[in-house]
Each structure stands twice: as structure tokens, then as C-alpha cells.
Amino acid sequence: MSLNDEKVSKLIEAIQAEARQRQEQIKREIDELTRLELEQAEAEVLGDAYALIHNEMNSMEQGVNRDFSQKQVAARRELIGLRQETKQKVFALAREKLSFFTEGDQYLDFLIQSAQSIAGVLGDGAFILYVRPADLQFEDHLKAQCPNAAVIVSDDIAIGGMTAVSSQGGQVIDDTLDARLQEQEPWFLEHCVLGL
């Protein structure tokens, strides 16, 4: 082999060796770039997955809260209905018991005490005692306690008792069993076992 051939052969070998080195370097750079891009893509996918999971959990939590609120509102409405129903039953029973009371012997004593109290408040001035139609039979007993009173029938009194209206000052005293029962409603609702 000639010297030139040998030089060419060494040159080719050197070029090939350098090409192999360069090829290996390029391959390492490509592998590194691929690894970095995969890590970046993986981080993006994990970030997207985390955001998706977070959003889904928030959505589920909102759904649970919404369902709970709706059930709570429905239960509250039901409880209000039960409370109202209970109040109506209790007060219907109380009206019935009061009606029985107005048919008994002690009712006249109640009316006389009520007339005495009214006379004590209104004094000697003239006033009107309003009673239910069934109580007009007690007019003489009431006038004995309130000589300056006129006894008049009122259809506004359903259960019993009386209302007095002063002729001079327009003062009104409602001592009806109807009013007394109605005054008990706030107390009943406050102390009812079915609390809201």
C-alpha cells in the first residue's frame, strides 16, 4: 500500500471515528432532550390530572352540600307542618275544653270575677260589656258587679268571657276566653317539643 493510500485510510478512519463520536454525542443529546420532554409532558399530565381530580372533588362536595341543604329545607318544612298541625290539634282540644267549661257551674263565677276586674279598671264611668249570645242569661249577675254597664251581645265572642269598652275614653278590655287562648299561641310555639 502506498503512503497516500495509508494516509487516506487513516484519514477515513479518523473521520469515521469522529463521526461515531459525533453520532454518539447526538444520540446522547437526543436521549436527554427526549427524557426532558417526557418529564415535562408527564408533569403537565399530572398537573392536568390533579386539576381534574380537584375540580371533580369540588363538584362532588358542592353536590353533597346542595343535597344536604335541600334535605334540610325539606325536613324543616315538614317540621313546620307538623308543628302547625300539632298546634291546631292542641288549640282545637283547648277550645273544646273551654267550651265544656262555659257549660259548667264554675263559668258564672269566672264571669263575675271578670266583671269585678273590669269594674275595678274602668271605675264608675259608663261602659259596655259585650258577651256571647249564650251568656246574655247572666246579664243580671254582670250588672250587679257593673251597675253602670250596658250588656250587649257580640257574635265576635265564640268561646266565652267578655269584652268591655269604656264610653268615655274608648278603653278596651278583652277578657274573653278566645283572647286568652290566642295569647297562649306564642308561648306554645316557643315551648313546643318540635323545635326548629
Summarize pLDDT for 136-154 with one digit per residue, the tens.
999 999 999 999 899 999 9
How far is it, in rounded angstroms, from Cα 139 to Cα 105? 16
How far is it, in rounded angstroms, from Cα 29 to Cα 34? 8
Distances (CA, A) of 59 to 4, 65, 72, 90: 80, 10, 20, 46
How far is it, in rounded angstroms, from Cα 8 to Cα 14? 10
Summarize pLDDT for 160-195 with one digit per residue, the tens.
999 999 988 789 999 999 999 999 888 887 877 665
Q: What is the pLDDT of residue 55?
A: 85
Which residues are 161's β-sheet partners? 176
Question: Which candidate, 168, 176, 133, places its Cα nearest to that of 151?
Answer: 133
Instruction: Collapse the DSSP code of 91 into the 3-class scheme (helix H, G, I; strand E, B; otherwise coil) and give the result.
Output: helix
How far is it, in rounded angstroms, from Cα 193 to Cα 196? 9
The pTM assigned to this predicted structure is: 0.62
Can you list the residues of the chain whose pLDDT is less than 70? 1, 193-196
